């Protein structure tokens, strides 16, 4: 299914070791469960009860999560074909999100002033994935006046305000978990570099409502995806706003710069929740974008399922982002809200002259371009390895499955609408 990458001894050894460990867990786990009479088929009700026992809390707050949780769990049970490791991972992730929901609701009760936090004119970066949106967001973060959710604070939001010693516990926990992820899937960092303090995507915030396209990236769950495309996304975005208010209450205010390619599928709800939002749409040649998205999705599917078909993942990802590109074109031609300020950033211009693009964006946003901001960006660029990632094991096979002319033909209208040039 995949070709062993042509890399150094250490990288190949890590990849083989990870594969061996996953194979052992997936074969030994069911045997151990049978011996100990433990069932991994846990119902949503069981998870809700376990989270309540863990925290001593019972109020999960709004929006109601029983329907989305049930839809996700049923799709997982009947379609995802999870391995033993996959079942462990899904159980851990779901339990974590439910515990977080209980703590979020409890925090809002303890500190009603959280609801008074003002989220003013947030900036949302969206567009096709793998279009340098993370790079762009990180450039914004070189200015201390700007703020983004960090991986650790989204993974474990907890009650309290301004207690950094408490927060360090959760920072260390996330570091430990990312170390395990790197061990179990050494190629992950090659397609999605992430650290405990990296900016986190809004998809992870929305996962606390169990209405997030992040689940579809992680698992093969077509019925859940169909339900997501039909449901009313407004309540989940209200939770998104409360989440930002909580982070601002705990960690201080700033100009929010957020991102998620998935926003393109629910822009109406996003702009209803944040009518003063500014939107930056990033663009790149889909022939360069799609293989990378397929590789990331395949790595995640393969980590949690032994029934991986790269061609099936390719088809799923391609169809999804053909629809995403269609929505980007429609959003540009017929804005959801004509009063919302929108601008576009192209990958080649951003990577070739990031300073010029950032100065333009500051002008678009009406922010002061002080001497300190370009100096901080230059310092980051001199230190950064952004964009220089090692190969992943799917690259050779995807080059055959996804020849650039075919991909560009599938995205012809998108390319023509925005005048996107083919990359070499």
* pLDDT, tens digit only, all 424 positions of the chain: 444 545 566 777 887 888 888 888 888 877 766 665 565 566 889 999 999 999 999 999 999 999 999 999 999 999 999 999 999 999 999 999 999 999 999 999 999 999 999 999 999 999 999 999 999 999 999 999 999 999 999 999 876 554 544 788 889 999 999 999 999 888 888 888 899 999 999 999 999 999 999 999 999 999 999 999 999 999 999 999 999 999 999 888 899 999 999 999 999 999 999 999 999 999 999 999 999 999 999 999 999 998 888 999 999 999 999 999 999 999 998 876 777 799 999 999 999 999 999 999 999 999 999 999 999 999 999 987 655 556 677 777 888 888 999 999 999 999 999 999 998 7
Q: pTM for the whole thing? A: 0.92
Q: Per the omega criterion (within 30 degrees of 0), is the bond before 245 cis?
A: no
Q: Are 29 and 80 in contact (CB under 8 A)?
A: no
d(CA 257, CA 274): 13
d(CA 44, CA 338): 41
- Sequence spans of domains, the chain: 9-418
Residues 6+ apart with CB under 8 A from 37: none
Domain 9-418, CATH: 3.40.50.300
DSSP state of 209: G
Whole-number pLDDT of residue 390: 63
Q: Are 344 and 418 in contact (CB under 8 A)?
A: yes
- Name the strand (E) or helix (H) holding 283: strand 278-283
* 150: its two tokens: 């960090």
CA distances from 103 to 151, 163, 365, 415 (A): 17, 16, 34, 45
How many CB atoms neighbour CB 262 within 10 A? Answer: 21
d(CA 280, CA 135): 13
């Amino acid at each position: 299914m995949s070709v062993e990458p042509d890399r150094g001894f250490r990288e190949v050894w890590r990849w083989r070791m990870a594969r061996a460990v996953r194979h052992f867990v997936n074969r030994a786990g069911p045997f151990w469960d049978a011996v100990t009479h433990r069932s991994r088929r846990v119902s949503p009700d069981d998870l809700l009860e376990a989270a309540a026992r863990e925290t001593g809390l019972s109020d999960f707050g709004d929006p109601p999560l029983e329907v989305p949780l049930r839809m996700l769990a049923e799709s997982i049970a009947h379609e995802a074909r999870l391995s033993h490791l996959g079942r462990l991972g899904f159980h851990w992730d779901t339990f974590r999100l439910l515990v977080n929901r209980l703590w979020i609701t409890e925090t809002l009760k303890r500190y009603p002033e959280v609801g008074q936090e003002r989220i003013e004119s947030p900036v949302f970066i969206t567009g096709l994935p793998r279009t340098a949106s993370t790079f762009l967001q990180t450039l914004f973060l070189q200015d201390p006046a700007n703020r983004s959710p960090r991986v650790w604070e989204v993974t474990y939001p907890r009650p309290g305000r301004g207690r950094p010693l408490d927060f360090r516990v959760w920072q260390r926990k996330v570091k430990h978990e990312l170390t395990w992820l790197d061990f179990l899937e050494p190629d992950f960092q090659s397609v999605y570099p992430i650290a405990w303090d990296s900016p986190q995507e809004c998809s992870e915030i929305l996962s606390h409502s169990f209405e997030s396209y992040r689940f579809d990236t992680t698992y093969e769950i077509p019925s859940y995806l169909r339900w997501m495309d039909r449901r009313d996304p407004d309540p989940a975005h209200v939770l998104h706003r409360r989440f930002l208010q909580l982070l601002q209450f705990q960690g201080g205010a700033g100009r929010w710069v957020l991102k998620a390619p998935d926003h393109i599928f629910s822009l109406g709800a996003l702009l209803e929740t944040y009518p003063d939002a500014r939107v930056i749409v990033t663009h790149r040649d889909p022939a360069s974008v799609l293989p990378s998205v397929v590789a990331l999705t395949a790595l995640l599917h393969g980590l949690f399922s032994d029934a991986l078909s790269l061609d099936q993942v390719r088809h799923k990802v391609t169809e999804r982002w053909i629809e995403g590109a269609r929505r980007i074109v429609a959003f540009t031609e017929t804005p959801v809200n004509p009063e919302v300020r929108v601008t576009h950033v192209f990958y080649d211009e951003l990577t070739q002259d990031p300073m010029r693009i950032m100065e333009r964006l500051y002008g678009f946003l009406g922010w002061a371009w002080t001497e300190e901001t370009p100096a901080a960006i230059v310092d980051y660029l001199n230190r950064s390895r952004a964009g220089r990632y090692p190969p992943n094991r799917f690259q050779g096979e995807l080059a055959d499955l996804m020849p650039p002319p075919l991909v560009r033909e599938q995205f012809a209208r998108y390319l023509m609408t925005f005048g996107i040039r083919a990359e070499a």
